[in-house]
Amino acid sequence: MAKLTIDGGAIEVADGTSLFDACRLARGEALPHFCYHPDLSIAGVCRLCQVEVEGMPKLTIACNTTVRDGMVVHTRSEKVRKASQQILEMHLINHPVDCPICDQAGECGLQNQYMAYGLYDSQVAESDKVNKAKAQVIGPHVILDKERCVLCSRCVRFCNEVTKTGEMGIFNRGDRAEIGTAPGRELDNAYSVNTVDICPVGALTSRDFRFQKRVWMLKSADGVCAGCATGCNVRVDHEAGRVYRLKPRRNAQVNGSWMCDEGRLTYKDVHADDRLVEPSWRGQAVTWADAKARLAEVAVGGFALVVGSAHQSLEELGLLKLVAPGAVFSGGLAGSDMGVGDDLLRSADRTPNRRGLQLAGLPEHDAAALAVLVRAAKGAILVHGGDPAAAPEVAAALAGRQDVVYVGTHRRATAQAATLALPGATWAEKAGIFVNRQGRAQAFAQAVARPGQAREDWRVLAELLPATAAAPASLKALREAVRAQLGLGIDLDRLPADGALTGGEA
């Protein structure tokens, strides 16, 4: 352990801690910085985190200094302030200051720190600035503006260290130095948009989000990516009922600071044109009141077969078990929604909650087996989520039945095949829990309002409960009921920020 004094206060940290982290602890906020990133190597190129250490002749950068016992550090002295100011001014010499058209404005490191420490009247005339290329498409997801770059090298290190693809580099010297892709290369790895996230200025911007919304108008909700079984923690940025982008939320246990490009685009499904937005009876839109009446018609003798899906939350899967205690249960199509995985973040399993399905005890069946179950069902069938009818065998088995109830989010094959289709909510429109491939239960919050007459799935399912079962009054009560039913040892309503393991690595 090392004892040191920072800004007059004593602090004790483990040996080997960087001075940057020690200062963050002591100050309660990080030192100004561009190049430092907790999940990347130390470059020490931006020189912005300089602090005054007594006994050292000059200021030193905190990120590349390890703490030593007895250090006396000043982070707010006049000398440090002046140094920050001058370094920032240097960074700005060739910066175009086109904040009005820059997507980064509002979450820009340069902007924020310049407002905090800057020298407000620039000594450099605009005409003296070195002009570089603007708005270059450097990959399928990323656009580069070389002028705005402050040469922090975060993107270069990301491509070298995380994806190990090495597309990016810094070329030329002095004030001609500029960021760019290696000759003949494109920034086309599966994690390329992370460079946009870590870029402290607007040099790298996302093509998908570009000009869609000013960031200060966005509100955020904590979510979990539903794109695959990894369950990357994300921030859902939304405004006025619309999700605009997903950004990774740091969870060292799951995804570090990253997420894949594919996962970022999963929000598009939330606003798809084929959303199921109102109850439909034999393809005709009806009101909820009508739908309830029809439901009594269809499920007059209860459900004989209940088909769940790995796309639904743990609470819903647990509730499903209560809907029809005597029914045959299925977890949907086995091996559906499979893609290509890698050893970084992406799983081949493109469902967010297959582990949850297993926890809830819903066995998956292949198409033929599911078709057999459907044909064997001597009562109404309830399909919740997923799209089992996408398999031709299942579709054939469902065809002609007049007692299929579907609760889901999109008007796809199963919704078409169902007699009564009830609109549920997507992951962005409800709160819930996904259990990822590690068996880690992670909670996600509701970001936007549900479209049309769609309702939270668990409320829809509660309508289907037999008269003998008490419907849960709230999500909290439902979670408690599911916890008890599945025999989990964790409080589902108060999961830790980085999730809780449900037991055993998969």
Q: Which residues bind another protein (CB under 8 A)?
A: 98-101, 105, 133-136, 210-212, 214, 216-217
CB 98, min distance to another protein, A: 8
d(CA 196, CA 202): 8
Residue whose CB is less far from another protein, 147 or 393:
147
Residue whose CB is less far from another protein, 214 or 375:
214
CB 158, min distance to another protein, A: 25
State the Cα torsion 35-36-39-40 to the nearest 10°. 50
Angle at 88 between CA 82 and CA 94, to 5 degrees: 145
Cβ 197 vs Cβ 247: under 8 Å: yes
Angle at 117 between CA 112 and CA 121, to 5 degrees: 95
Residue type, 228: C
Residue whose CB is less far from another protein, 203 or 367:
203
Residue whose CB is less far from another protein, 79 or 134:
134
434's enclosing H/E stretch is: strand 432-435
Which of 403, 318, 299 has the alpha carbon at shortest distance from 360?
A: 318
Residue whose CB is less far from another protein, 93 or 101:
101
201 token code pair: 């200025």
Which of 263, 485, 307, 267 has the alpha carbon at shortest distance from 405?
A: 307
180 Cβ neighbours under 8 A, 6+ residues apart: 138, 144, 146, 168, 169, 170, 171
Residue 292: how many CB atoms within 10 A of its CB?
A: 13
Residue whose CB is less far from another protein, 216 or 343:
216
CB 213, min distance to another protein, A: 9
Residue whose CB is less far from another protein, 242 or 250:
242
CB 147, min distance to another protein, A: 10
326 token code pair: 């005597």
CB 134, min distance to another protein, A: 4
Which of 423, 36, 426 has the alpha carbon at shortest distance from 221?
A: 426
CB 15, min distance to another protein, A: 48
171 Cβ neighbours under 8 A, 6+ residues apart: 177, 178, 179, 180
CB 116, min distance to another protein, A: 21
Rg of the chain on CA atoms, in Å: 27
CB 211, min distance to another protein, A: 4
On the CB side of 75, CA atoms within 13 Å amount to 26
Residue whose CB is less far from another protein, 210 or 268:
210
Backbone angles phi, psi at 92, to 5 degrees: -85, -10
Residue whose CB is less far from another protein, 202 or 263:
202
CB 212, min distance to another protein, A: 8
Residue whose CB is less far from another protein, 97 or 182:
97
Residue listed under structure tokens 């809780």: 500
CB 133, min distance to another protein, A: 8
d(CA 360, CA 362): 6
Residue listed under structure tokens 């483990």: 14
Residue whose CB is less far from another protein, 134 or 459:
134
CB 240, min distance to another protein, A: 11
d(CA 371, CA 305): 11
Backbone angles phi, psi at 277, to 5 degrees: -115, -5
